[in-house]
Amino acid sequence: MTDIDEMLAAGNGLLDRRFFLRAGVAGGAALMTASASAVERKEWMKAPGEGMSGSGAPSSHESHIVRAPIGSSPGTTGTGASRTPLQFLDGIITPSRLHFERHHAGIPDIDPAEHRLVIHGLVERPLSFSLDALARYPMVSRIQFLECSGNSGASMAPEPVQGTCGALHGLVSASEWGGVPLSVLLEEAGVKPEGKWLVADGADAAMMSRSVPLDKIMDDAIVALYQNGERLRPSNGYPMRLFLPGWEGNMSVKWLRTIKVIDQPAMTKDETSKYSDLQKDGVTKLFSFPMGVKSVITSPSPGLSMTVPGVYQISGIAWTGAGKIKRVEVSTDGGNSWAEASLDEHVMSKCLTRFRSAWRWDGSPSVILSRATDESGSVQPTRDRVLSERSSAAFYHYNGIQAWRVADSGEVTNVYA
Amino acid sequence: MSTRKLCTIVCFSLLSGSLLAQESPGLGEDVTAEELAAVDYAILPNGDGLPAGSGTAAEGAMVYQQYCFACHGEKGKGGANDALSGGHGSLTSARPQKTVGSFWPYATTVFDYVRRAMPHQSPGILSNDELYAVTAYILFVNDIIGEDQEINANTLPAVKMPNRDNFVWDYSEGE
C-alpha cells in the first residue's frame, strides 16, 4: 500500500482534505510541471519593462477573463445581467471589474455633486445627505457576498443547460463593502413608532425600488460608498448603494436616491411579480429574503477540462445568508460517499468561503458534487428537494446541489444527479 | 495582567463601542416640502402616494398604442418583452404564464411601475392622466375592469386583482 492509498477519504479516489498539506506524498508530483526552458533569458528579461501607471489592468494574457454571458431584454442594452466568471477565479474576493451586474434600465452616469440621499416618510425630520456629508460619518467595512436571487435559475430547466460555472452560477460575487450604517442615518432622522419598513429607490431610469423591513436595516444594513477599497463602480451603484448582507441582491438598491419609512411594504413590481416563488399549488411566497446555503465546485467545471489521470485539486465556493459556512463536503462518486473539504482560513459571516479537496482521478467517468452546511445547521438541498414544492416556472432562490460530470476524456459537463 | 487593568480595558472598550453606535455627526440637511414632493414616488397598496388625475381604458388604448405596443404586443400579448395580459388560470398548470392579469397581486403596482420605469426608452414622459389611462387599459385587456371605468387615486386601490389571495409571506416581522 502506498502513502496515497492511506489518504483515501471516500469513494472513487477522493482524498483526505489534509492531502495537500502533507509533503512528499506519492502522486503529488503529478501536479508539478517543470519548464525545460527555465534557465533561458526570455525577451522580457533582456530590457527593462514598462513604467508605472496611474491605474492598473490585468495582464494582456488574461483578456479572456471577462463577465459572460451578457444578456439584455429584447430592444435594450442595459436591462439584463452579466455574470462573474467563477471558473477562472480563486480565493473569495471578486475583482470589482468582474462583479456580476443586474440592471433594470442601464447604468446611470451620476454626477455625485448633484446626487442626494433623501430619508423621509415616517420620520421626525426628513433629511438630505450629500456624498461629501456621508463620507464624514464613521464607517464600517465587511467582506460579504452579494447574490442575485435569480442566480442558478437555469438549474430549474428540465434538461441540464450546458454552460460554464460562471454562466450558470455567476450571479454571485464577494467584495469588501464599506459605508455608513443606515441605522445611524435613520436615528438622526428619528423613525416614528409606526415605521416598520422602508422603500428604497434608485436613481436609475427605472427608479428601481424595493421594500425592506426595518429590523434588517437596524441589524446590519449600510449605505455603501466603497467596494474593495475604492469608491463604488458605476455598475455597482456609484456614488452610493444600499447593501443588505446575505439578502437577495435585488434589495441592495444601487444608485440609492430615497429611503421612505413606511408602515407596510410598498409591494413594488420586483418584490411581488419578479423575485417571488410560485409553488406547485398556485400559492406564491413573497419576501424570501436571506439567500439559502449553497456551494458550487468552480474547478474542475465546464470549460476547464481535466487532462490526464492523476491528482487534482477540487476547489469551489460556499456561502449562506444565515451567517458562516460550517462545513463543505465533496463527493466524486455521484453522491454515494462524501468527504469533508478543507476551508480556507477566512470563513466570514455572509461571505464566500473557499473550499478545497484533493482527488486522485483514475480517468474513469465520474460525477463530482459539493454540499454545504451553515452554522444554523441548514444543509444545501438536492435539486429534487428544491423542485419538490415549486412550480416549474419558479426559478428564484435556487440553491440545489450542483453536479458536474467528468467524462473519460476529461471533459466536464453539467448533469443532474 | 491585573484584574483592575483588565477591567479598565474592558470598560473602555464597552464605552467606546456604545459611543460609536450612537455618535452621529448630524450632517443631514432639512428638506423642503417641494424637494420631498419631487423625489417621493412611493405608492402603497392602500393608495397612499397616488397622485391626482384619472383615466379610462378607452383613453389608455391610444397611450398604449403609442408607447407600449412595440414591445408588449397587441393588447399586452405577443410582444418581444413581458406579456401583460393572458395566462389566467395557468399558474398551477405545467406552463404557468405570469402576467399582470394572471399573477400581480396589486393594481397599484401597475401604476407605480409604469410611472417609474415606462416607457423603457423615455420614462417620465407620461402625464398622470395618461398613467391612469394606460393602467386602466392594462387592467381592461385582462378583463379586470370595464372599458369606461374611471381609474383614479380612489378607484385604483379598490381594484381586486384575480390572484390577490394566493400570496403568502415568507418573512415574519420581528424575525
Whether residue B98 is contained in a domain is answered as: yes
Q: Which has the minimum average pLDDT: A36-40, A46-50, A143-147, A383-387? A: A36-40
pLDDT per residue as tens digits for the range A177-207: 999 999 999 999 999 999 999 999 999 999 9
CB within 8 Å of A177: residues ≥ 6 apart = A141, A142, A143, A144, A222, A224, A226, A227, A243
The pLDDT score that the predictor gives to residue A36 is: 56
Q: Which residue has the cell 399586452?
A: B76
Q: Tell me, what amino acid is at A352?
A: L
Whether residue B107 is contained in a domain is answered as: yes
Whether residue B128 is contained in a domain is answered as: yes
Look up the CATH number of the domain holding residue B111.
Answer: 1.10.760.10
The pLDDT score that the predictor gives to residue A23 is: 53
Whether residue B27 is contained in a domain is answered as: no
The pLDDT score that the predictor gives to residue A144 is: 98
**A333: buried, middle or exposed (CB in 10 Å: 19+, 13-18, 0-12)?**
middle
What is the C-alpha to C-alpha distance for residues A287 and A149, in angstroms, rounded to an integer?
A: 11
Q: How far is CA A12 from the centre of its chain?
A: 30
Number of H helices, E strands in chain B: 6, 6
The alpha-carbon radius of gyration of chain B (Å, integer) is 24
What is the C-alpha to C-alpha distance for residues A270 and A275, in angstroms, rounded to an integer?
A: 6
Percentage of chain A modeled with pLDDT above 90: 91
pLDDT per residue as tens digits for the range B118-139: 999 999 999 999 999 999 999 9
The enclosing H or E element of B169 equals strand B167-169
pLDDT per residue as tens digits for the range A275-329: 999 999 999 999 999 999 999 999 999 999 899 999 999 999 999 999 999 999 9
Three-state secondary-structure class, residue B29: strand
pLDDT per residue as tens digits for the range B85-131: 999 999 999 999 999 999 999 999 999 999 999 999 999 999 999 99
Q: Which residue of A has its CA nearest to B174?
A: A215
The pLDDT score that the predictor gives to residue B89 is: 93
Residue from the list B35, B45, B166 with its beta carbon closest to the beta carbon of A282: B166
The pLDDT score that the predictor gives to residue A21 is: 78
Range of the domain at B113: 56-159
Select from B39, B85, B163, B166 the residue whose CB has the most chain A CBs within 10 Å, as the one to mutate to test that interface: B39
Q: What is the mean pLDDT of residues B40-58?
A: 98
Select from A287, A389, A390 the residue whose CB has the most chain B CBs within 10 Å, as the one to mutate to test that interface: A287
Q: Which has the minimum average pLDDT: A11-20, A30-39, A179-188, B33-42? A: A30-39
Q: Tell me, what amino acid is at A173?
A: S
Flag whether residue B111 sits within 8 Å of chain A, measured between CB atoms.
no
pLDDT per residue as tens digits for the range A62-90: 999 999 999 999 999 999 999 999 999 99
Q: Binning pLDDT at 50, 70 and 90, where does residue B2 land?
A: very low
> Which residue, among B45, B42, B66, B36, has the nearest Cα to B134 in the 3D structure?
B66
Which residue spans within A203-240 are E strands per DSSP? Answer: 209-213, 222-227, 230-231
Whether residue B39 is contained in a domain is answered as: no
> Which residue, among A110, A233, A117, has the nearest Cα to A175 in the 3D structure?
A233
Is the model's pLDDT at A121 over the cut of 80? yes
Query: How far, in Å, are A75, A97, A111, A255, A256 from residue A238 at the CA level?
Result: 25, 14, 9, 6, 9
**Residue extent(s) of CATH 3.90.420.10 domains in chain A:** 112-279
Nine cell digits for residue A203? 436613481
What is the C-alpha to C-alpha distance for residues A71 and A69, in angstroms, rounded to an integer?
A: 6
End-to-end CA distance of chain A: 32
Nine cell digits for residue B110? 401597475
What is the C-alpha to C-alpha distance for residues A287 and A276, in angstroms, rounded to an integer?
A: 7
Flag whether residue B52 sits within 8 Å of chain A, measured between CB atoms.
no
Polymer length of chain B: 175
Whether residue B35 is contained in a domain is answered as: no
**A61: buried, middle or exposed (CB in 10 Å: 19+, 13-18, 0-12)?**
exposed
The pLDDT score that the predictor gives to residue B10 is: 42
DSSP state string for A298-355: EES-TTS---SSEEEEEEEEEE-TTS-EEEEEEESSTTSS-EEPEE-S---TTS-EEE
The pLDDT score that the predictor gives to residue B15 is: 41
Q: Does domain A294-415 have CATH number 1.10.10.10?
A: no
What is the C-alpha to C-alpha distance for residues A295 and A64, in angstroms, rounded to an integer?
A: 25
Q: What is the mean pLDDT of residues A79-106?
A: 98
Q: How many domains does chain B have?
A: 1
Q: Is the pTM of this model over 0.90?
A: yes
- How far away is chain A from the Cα of B50, in angstroms, using its nearest Cα? 12
Q: What is the mean pLDDT of residues B138-150?
A: 98
What is the C-alpha to C-alpha distance for residues B69 and B73, in angstroms, rounded to an integer?
A: 5
- How far away is chain A from the Cα of B19, in angstroms, using its nearest Cα? 11
Q: Binning pLDDT at 50, 70 and 90, where does residue B173 land?
A: confident
CB within 8 Å: A75 and B71 = yes
What ipTM was assigned to the predicted interfaces of this complex?
A: 0.93
CB within 8 Å: A281 and B92 = yes
Whether residue B135 is contained in a domain is answered as: yes
Flag whether residue A287 sits within 8 Å of chain B, measured between CB atoms.
yes
**A337: buried, middle or exposed (CB in 10 Å: 19+, 13-18, 0-12)?**
middle
CB within 8 Å: A74 and B80 = yes
CB within 8 Å: B116 and A206 = yes
CATH number given to A112-279: 3.90.420.10
The pLDDT score that the predictor gives to residue B23 is: 64
Task: Give the angle A139-A246-A226 at the CA atoms, nearest 5°.
Answer: 30
The pLDDT score that the predictor gives to residue A67 is: 98
Whether residue B148 is contained in a domain is answered as: yes
